[in-house]
Amino acid sequence: MAATHSEYRGYLRNTVDMEAGQHRFHSVQSSEPTYRPLLFGTLAVMGLLQVASSVAILLHLTGYLQEVDLTTAPHRPIESEPVLDALRDPKKPKRCKPSRESLPSAHLPIKPHQEYSKKESEKKAITIDWEELHVYRQKMGYQRGKLLVEESGFYYVYAKTCFRYYTLTPEDSSSQAGTPAVDVSNTQLIQYVYHESIKQNSKAVLLMKAGSTMRWNSMSYNMYCAQQGRGVRLEEGDALFVNVSNAWMLDPEGEGTYFGAIKLGN
């Protein structure tokens, strides 16, 4: 009977130990969820390190660009960037800008030492003669006061004429005694620019007109200038010329009276 009681107590003790062992086993399993915060913490640290490295690289590059001083860089010819060159269409034709020296153009000052009849120039407009020896002409001809077009295109045509009148000095007056005084109290000074078109059988068409009716004093120095210009389409073989009224009053200096044209394009 005693053996039986001791065996029962031993059974009870083993049962308690087993329960205690099971309780310790469950306590170990309950610590498993603590790994999740550790995992999340590790990922967060890795993310922060990656952001920090990216910021450090950006700051390094920014600091390098700020240290470059463009003012101290050697002056070298500007070259096109490879990217821009690659984007350009190689099949697209390049526009060749014509040089100014090759453009047809002319500038003609008035021909010096020429005399116009007073009576004739008062009745009708007379074509001005221009200097043709020491002038500028490029791919344009000249003949008897007319500027000749040798290359078709769109031109800018300009003209300026100056008129003047002044009383004679006492010495000149004595040498021309008996000469009646000229009435310049109502003088028309008009400038006409004409265009002879080869398509219209060289018919002269008025291109521009400018001028004024002057009321000058015959006892003092008087001067008046008319200047005008415009663009016009000209064909090869066309001609341009300038007519003026009262040509006997023209200023003979080339700085005041001139005529010209320049080609602007096709």
Quick: pLDDT tens for 10-63.
555 555 455 555 544 444 454 455 667 777 778 887 878 877 777 677 666 666
Give me the number of domains the chain comprises: 2
Do 34 and 148 lie in a common domain? no
The answer on pLDDT for 83 being more than 50 is no
Do 147 and 221 lie in a common domain? yes
In a domain, 89, yes or no: no
Which residue from 110, 101, 99 is spatially nearest to 138, judged by alpha carbons? 101
The answer on pLDDT for 246 being more than 80 is yes
In a domain, 72, yes or no: no
Quick: pLDDT tens for 163-211.
998 866 555 544 444 455 677 878 899 999 999 999 888 889 999 999 9
In a domain, 86, yes or no: no
In degrees and rounded to multiples of 5, residue 72 shows phi and psi of: -90, -5
Q: Is the pTM of this model over 0.85?
A: no
The answer on pLDDT for 261 being more than 60 is yes
In a domain, 123, yes or no: yes
6-10, 179-183, 228-232, 242-246: the lowest-pLDDT one: 6-10
Q: Most confidently modeled of 4-18, 66-80, 241-255?
A: 241-255
Do 107 and 208 lie in a common domain? yes
What residues are paired with 256 via a beta bridge?
none
Do 257 and 167 lie in a common domain? yes
**Mean pLDDT, the chain, whole residue set:** 77
112: domain range? 102-174+183-265
